[in-house]
Amino acid sequence: MTEYNGLGEVSGKRVLVRSDLNVPLDGTTITDDGRIRASVPTIKALADAGARVVVVAHLGRPKGEPDPSYSLAPVAERLGDLLGAPVAFASDTVGASAKETVAALADGQVALLENVRFNTGETSKDDAARGAFADELASLADAFVSDGFGVVHRKQASVYDVAQRLPHAMGALVGAEIDVLRRLTVEPARPYVVVLGGSKVSDKLGVIDNLLGKADKLLIGGGMVFTFLKADGHEVGKSLLEEDQLDTVRSYQARAKEIGVEILLPTDIVVADSFGDEASARVVPATAIPADALGLDIGPDSGAAFAAALADARTVFWNGPMGVFEQPAFAEGTRAVAAALTEVDGLSVVGGGDSAAAVRTLGFDEAAFGHISTGGGASLEYLEGKELPGITVLEENR
């Protein structure tokens, strides 16, 4: 088999693959390689078909110029381990090293270019600047495969503009992500339960607005819950609060009541006097948070209630941890939700970002979930009903 997903014969061709390899690093040590592992199948399929695979990706948010702390060199090494073959690494993206590295590839070999965001053209808002950089990227390849789901909501050179310049195809990872998201938005199996956490209500406004008409229940945890509790007139102490979102939250609550969608809030909260590893945790009623306390997780009763609300669900989407899961004292709410998702008789989707990191950090078997997304922001924008430029460009330029 020397063809790939509508591109035709790829053997001997240089195929530029936009992957999402934006992994967390501690110095040069990768602390979670989930996104790299998720990128391997498409890269391997192309290499096995005889393509000369040129992978382009970003890491972090450098300021459009080289920054050693954001180098993809450790990722190249890990990618090679997972592929079982060395991955050539170019020390730039479109310069002399990239050109020499690509030119030296034999059929079936893989190269990774240095961080694409070391170049100002990648994220430029100016179409001409972005296009000029896309021209340089496109000159390195004969075809393009879009497989970085975590960036398809970005109108960036390596995501959007390159697809206008080369024969292109959707990678297996992006295809799988879109298929799952369609199942969440088009006639989902019911009951359909959405679990939202994370720090801010403002990050989830569009999702709440769009899913109020689709989901049967919304379970609210994480830092965003304190804005909901405050909207109901309760003291939230020193907990994270978005005062400017109180009226919006009240409008959502009124709308949910009107259309029969249940919004379930925690009944107890794990609080501490301060944030840190030495914090002394205690459980208080959600309606009686002390004025000097900081809420850092949902409590055990809430964890049990959320698990019960998920027990009969046939479709679940979860985005955002229930608390500061990185610290054991504030991880149990997130653990309770994750464990409940593994028991869902239907489709359970972990919506990327911190939720995916939590699943791995807390030691869950990833195979126990229906789908773990590699792109939290892209998932949320899709569920908001927004257009994803990196998907639209593939569909419009066939």
Structure tokens at 203: 């990050």
pLDDT band of 202, cuts 50, 70, 90: confident
Classify residue 373: in a domain, yes or no: yes
| Residue 307 pLDDT greater than 70, yes or no | yes
The binding site for ATP consists of 204, 295, 326, 352-355
Alpha carbon 372 to its chain's center: 9
Classify residue 4: in a domain, yes or no: no
Are residues 147 and 41 both part of a single domain? yes
In degrees rounded to 5, what are phi and psi of residue 222? 70, -170
Are residues 136 and 195 both part of a single domain? no
Are residues 354 and 246 both part of a single domain? yes
Structure tokens at 361: 């950090």
Classify residue 80: in a domain, yes or no: yes
Task: Identify each DSSP E strand in 3-147 by its residue range.
Answer: 14-18, 25-26, 29-30, 52-56, 87-89, 110-112, 143-146
Classify residue 351: in a domain, yes or no: yes
Are residues 194 and 95 both part of a single domain? no
Bond prior to 191 in cis (omega within 30° of 0): yes
The binding site consists of 20-22, 35, 58-61, 117, 154, 204, 295, 326, 352-355
Are residues 84 and 140 both part of a single domain? yes
Stretch 280-300: mean pLDDT: 95
State the pLDDT at residue 398: 63
Classify residue 223: in a domain, yes or no: yes
Measured CA to CA, the distance from residue 236 to residue 251 in angstroms comes to: 20
The binding site for substrate consists of 20-22, 35, 58-61, 117, 154
Residue percentage of the chain with pLDDT more than 90:
84
Are residues 165 and 235 both part of a single domain? no
CB atoms within 10 A of CB 209: 15
Pseudo-torsion of CA 34, 97, 60, 135, nearest 10°?
-100
Residue ranges making up the domain that contains 107: 14-170
Stretch 207-226: mean pLDDT: 93
Are residues 158 and 187 both part of a single domain? no
Stretch 350-368: mean pLDDT: 90
Are residues 74 and 208 both part of a single domain? no
SS3 state of residue 146: strand
Which residue type occupies 368?
A
CB atoms within 10 A of CB 294: 21
Which residue type occupies 398?
R
Are residues 340 and 201 both part of a single domain? yes
124, 133 Cβ separation under 8 angstroms: yes
Which residues are annotated as catalytic? 35, 200, 353, 377
State the pLDDT at residue 289: 97
Pick from 231, 236, 224: nearest CA to 284: 236
Are residues 42 and 158 both part of a single domain? yes
Q: Which helix (H) or strand (E) holds 347?
A: strand 347-350
Classify residue 67: in a domain, yes or no: yes
Are residues 61 and 165 both part of a single domain? yes
Q: Which helix (H) or strand (E) holds 339?
A: helix 332-341
pTM, full prediction: 0.88
pLDDT per position as a tens digit, 25-71:
999 999 989 899 999 999 999 999 999 999 999 999 999 999 999 99
Segment 135-140 long-range contacts (CB within 8 Å, at least 24 positions apart): 135/165, 136/94, 137/16, 137/56, 137/93, 137/94, 137/162, 138/16, 138/162, 138/165, 138/166, 139/94, 140/14, 140/16, 140/54, 140/94, 140/98, 140/99, 140/102, 140/113
**Angle, CA of 178, 40 and 314, to the nearest 5°:** 35
| Residue 277 pLDDT greater than 70, yes or no | no
In degrees rounded to 5, what are phi and psi of residue 28? -110, 10
Average pLDDT taken over every residue of the chain? 94
- CATH number of the domain where residue 208 is located: 3.40.50.1260
Which residues are 364's β-sheet partners?
none
Domain end among 170, 204, 223 = 170
Angle between helices 353-361 and 332-341 (to 10 degrees): 90
Number of domains observed in the structure of the chain: 2
Q: Which helix (H) or strand (E) holds 319?
A: strand 315-319
Q: Which helix (H) or strand (E) holds 262?
A: strand 262-264
Mean pLDDT lowest among 12-16, 90-94, 208-212, 216-220? 208-212
